[in-house]
Structure 1
Amino acid sequence: MKWSKYFQNPTYLEMTRKFMLNQDLKPLIVKYLGIESGMEVLDVGCGTGAFTRYLVEELLEESKKCEFTGIDYDEKLIEVAKQYVSEKISVQDIKYIIGNAYKLPFDNNKFDLIVSHTFLGIASDVKTALNEMIRVVKPGGSIASVTSMSYGHQAWHEGYYPEKEWRKELSDLADKIIYIYERVHSTWEFVLGKPSSEIPHFFAESGLKNVRIYGLGRVFSLSNAAMSKEEKEEYIIGMYEAEVCKFKNYWEIEEFRKYLTKQEKDKYLSLLNENKNFLLKNIGENIFWDWHGGANLLVIGDVVKNK
């Protein structure tokens, strides 16, 4: 699918969730969502299933057992979601299916709760999507959305790295390549939904009741001593692999190759590898401190249906 090939490949999705989903907030989010044992929960636009697993891991800690279903239209993302479940979650009550959020393949009044992570920020038809969610939720059930308050980082620092010529070279070349990415496939081809600021009113306007909002903070840095060495290694290697995959997919496009020489291509891949090795070599440092932070908005509304 175009999404996972050119915009957010599975590895990139998984790595970005490491800073979008604050692990310390798991108990709080489960509490806000009101998840209890025996509930049927649907994750719409689940991608690689990162948010589903995030919730399930906390429920296992609380000895709560629920049935989860994740749905996404991108076959590659669902394939990876299934793989992650088999490798990382020791329960059998999570299933992932390929499907259309604008025509959910479920009976009316099936789920106790529907969740989505970033979906309403990118959906091309949020009204139809929300109406479908309302249709398949039981009377008295809830619908919840997590979206970023900003597509960029709301606070950040570029860090205190030693001046190395190759880092400046990588930065300049990366800026050029990002520009070409946008020229060939603009971000706005993919980000089509509502900004987080509009979602609370949108929920109320769509008929949901008791609409409530919660702010969820997030911050990330490889200099952070609160992160384990293993977590940092996974992130460094994952982001490297994600960018290499994305770049090679774009290189297949004739229009992309009009703006970049083969020498620049080879140089970029070499510099990405050098940057990865540099970060891995300095994984225990506590002085560079490039970091970024922001917040997500959790919006929840209850479904009331006429009998």
Structure 2
Amino acid sequence: MDFGGRDKATYVKETFNSIAGHYDLMNSLMSLGMDKHWRRLAVKRVGAKPGMHILDVCCGTGQLSLELGKVVGSEGNVTGLDFSQNMLEVARYSLIQSSNPGNIRFIQGNAMELPFPDQSFDGATVGWGLRNLPDLRQGIREMIRTVKPGGKVVSLDMAKPSFPVFKQAYWVYFEKLVPLMGKLWAKKASAYQYLHDSAREFPAQDELVRIFTECGLIDSHFDNLAGGVVAIVTGTKPVEQ
């Protein structure tokens, strides 16, 4: 990918700052409204329960954090972290507008160096965020570090469909139509071209499972959604002996 002479972290931050106000609308359009259902499945995979403390890395506009808050309730809490200030402003506004009973806070921070002590959370999620990190493995290891033994790390992200014909049609849609939608509704075609390019380069779901295991998680596996267009990858932090 061409970052215009900038490093990936700077490019991604500037890109998401520029589309923050249209991000949720575009997600709904691109996913045909299925994105909310996918987030709810990710909440189930992380094992969220009332009273738990959950970390949502690369939380963006906070939609996954809000779903987590509904489950952990007023006795639990959710911490959403992102490095895009504009995305966080949308997240905070969404929280104010919601009737969410959960204790949710949004903070600006770096997923490469999470500002939390070891074993701070009962589980950690990341929605459409791992592919934006400058170092995928470092980001996963940081999530593992902050999760308690027995807790789960869950990624919800674009994946690689494998069915012939459907696979080709998907990539044509992603390469041609998504940037056009971004130009029409978000006034930023380049941002949605980046979405295509980053999805192309992001590891397939079976490869991400292998990376989860390599980073120290156990029982790692994936669930395909929408024919493998999107996948949830889940791993468990081992219980210390």
- TM (norm. structure 2) is 0.72
Q: Is the 1:196–1:297 Cα contact (8 Å) retained in structure 2?
A: no
Aligned position for 2:198:
191
Distance 1:90 1:27 in 2: 15
- Aligned counterparts, 1:128-207, within 5 A: 128-150=138-160, 154=170, 181=190, 187=194, 191=198, 194-197=202-205, 198-207=207-216
Question: Could you tell me which of 30, 53, 57 is aligned with 2:66?
Answer: 53
Structure 2 gaps, min length 5 = 1-9, 162-167, 174-179
Change (3 A) 1:64 1:187: same
1:149-207, Cα deviation, whole Å (9 max, x unpaired): 159972888xxxxxxxxxxxxx7xx69xx99948xx9838x939732332111001111
Distance 1:133 1:44 in 2: 8
Structure 1 gaps, min length 5 = 158-170, 219-293
Structure 2 counterpart of 1:93, one-letter code: N
Q: Answer with 1 or 2: which has the greater Rg.
A: 1
Distance 1:16 1:180 in 2: 12
Distance 2:67 2:129 in 1: 16
Q: Identity, % of aligned pairs?
A: 25
- Aligned counterparts, 1:5-84, within 5 A: 5-6=14-15, 9-18=19-28, 19-20=30-31, 21-24=34-37, 28-57=41-70, 59=71, 66-84=76-94
Distance 1:28 1:194 in 2: 21
Cα offset, 1:106, TM superposition:
0.5
Distance 2:237 2:133 in 1: 21
Aligned position for 2:234:
300
Distance 1:78 1:68 in 2: 14
1:62-95, Cα deviation, whole Å (9 max, x unpaired): x785311000111111122111101124335000
Q: How many residues align?
A: 209
Distance 1:70 1:10 in 2: 16
Structure 2 counterpart of 1:121, one-letter code: R
Q: Is the 2:221–2:234 Cα contact (8 Å) retained in structure 1?
A: yes
Aligned position for 1:125:
135
Q: CA RMSD in A?
A: 3.6
Structure 1 counterpart of 2:96, one-letter code: S
Cα offset, 1:306, TM superposition:
3.9
1:263-298, Cα deviation, whole Å (9 max, x unpaired): xxxxxxxxxxxxxxxxxxxxxxxxxxxxxxx63110
Cα offset, 1:215, TM superposition:
1.5
Aligned position for 1:99:
109
Structure 2 counterpart of 1:297, one-letter code: A
Change (3 A) 1:37 1:148: same
Change (3 A) 1:77 1:205: same
- Aligned counterparts, 1:257-272, within 5 A: none
What is the SS of the residue equivalent to 1:140?
strand
Q: Is the 1:36–1:64 Cα contact (8 Å) retained in structure 2?
A: no
Distance 2:170 2:77 in 1: 35
1:1-37, Cα deviation, whole Å (9 max, x unpaired): 7546545611232113325444445654433332111
Structure 2 counterpart of 1:209, one-letter code: I
Change (3 A) 1:55 1:44: same
Distance 1:26 1:186 in 2: 23
- TM (norm. structure 1) is 0.58
